[in-house]
C-alpha cells in the first residue's frame, strides 16, 4: 500500500511537471503568434524602424556652415533600385547607403550629417541581446549520413524558435529519418 501511494505521488508530480511544461510551451507559441510580423520581401524598400532609444530626444534644425550638402550622384537611385516615386523625384537624393551584415545581435544604424563638410555618414552599433523577446524563426533542413552502425540514413529536420532570453532561443524541433526513427520535442539553443 505504501509503495502504491509512492507511485501515485510520483505519477502525480510527473503529470504536474508535464502539464506545467505544456502550459509554458502553449504560452510561448501564443506569444510568438501574437508578435508575428511577416518578413520583409527581398528587394522591397521599407522605412527603417526608428531606434526607440531616441524617441523622446526631439528634433532641431541645423544650418550648414559655408558648405553645401554632399549627396551621391543621381545614378545611385537606379543602382540601389529605389522605388519609382523616389527615382522620379528630383528633390530626393541619396546621401549615404550602408549594408548591415547578418548577426544574431540586433543592430542600430545611425546616419550623421556634418554641418562643416556637408557629408552624411552611416555608422552601425551591435546591440546586446534582449533579456526577453518573442521571435519566430524557422529552419527546414535535409541531410544524408551514417548511423553509428554504419547504416546510410536520410534525415529531415524542422525547427522553430519562439522565445529568446539573451543568447538562448527556446523552441520546437522535429526530425524524421528514412530508417523510421523520429524525434519531436521542445528545447533550447545557444547561438553566437
Distance CA 182, CA 176 (A): 4
Q: For cell 521571435, name the residue.
A: 135
Give me the residues of the chain with pLDDT under 70, please. Answer: 1-7, 28-40
> How is residue 20 written as a grid cell?
506545467
Q: What is the pLDDT of residues 115-170, one digit of tens each?
A: 888 888 888 899 999 999 888 888 999 999 998 888 999 999 999 898 899 999 99
* Domain ranges (residues) in the chain: 1-36+129-192, 45-128
Give a three-class secondary structure readout of 104-165: CCCEEEEEEECCCCCCEEEEEEECCCCCCEEEEEEEEEEEEEECCCCCEEEEEEEEEEEEEE
pTM to 2 decimal places: 0.61
Amino acid at each position: 500500500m505504501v509503495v502504491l501511494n509512492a507511485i501515485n505521488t510520483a505519477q502525480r508530480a510527473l503529470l504536474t511537471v508535464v502539464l506545467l511544461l505544456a502550459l509554458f510551451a502553449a504560452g510561448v507559441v501564443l506569444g510568438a503568434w501574437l508578435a508575428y510580423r511577416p518578413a520583409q520581401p527581398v528587394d522591397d524598400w521599407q522605412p527603417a524602424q526608428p531606434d526607440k532609444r531616441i524617441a523622446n530626444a526631439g528634433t532641431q534644425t541645423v544650418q550648414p556652415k559655408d558648405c553645401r550638402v554632399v549627396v551621391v550622384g543621381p545614378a545611385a537611385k537606379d543602382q540601389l533600385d529605389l522605388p519609382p516615386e523616389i527615382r522620379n523625384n528630383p528633390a530626393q537624393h541619396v546621401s549615404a547607403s550602408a549594408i548591415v551584415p547578418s548577426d544574431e545581435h540586433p543592430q542600430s544604424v545611425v546616419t550623421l550629417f556634418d554641418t562643416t563638410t556637408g557629408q552624411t555618414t552611416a555608422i552601425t552599433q551591435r546591440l546586446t541581446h534582449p533579456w526577453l523577446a518573442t521571435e519566430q524563426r524557422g529552419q527546414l533542413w535535409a541531410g544524408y549520413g551514417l548511423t553509428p552502425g554504419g547504416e546510410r540514413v536520410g534525415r529531415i529536420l524542422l525547427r522553430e524558435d519562439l522565445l529568446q532570453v539573451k543568447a538562448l532561443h527556446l523552441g520546437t524541433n522535429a526530425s524524421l529519418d528514412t530508417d523510421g526513427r523520429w524525434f519531436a520535442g521542445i528545447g533550447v539553443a545557444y547561438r553566437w
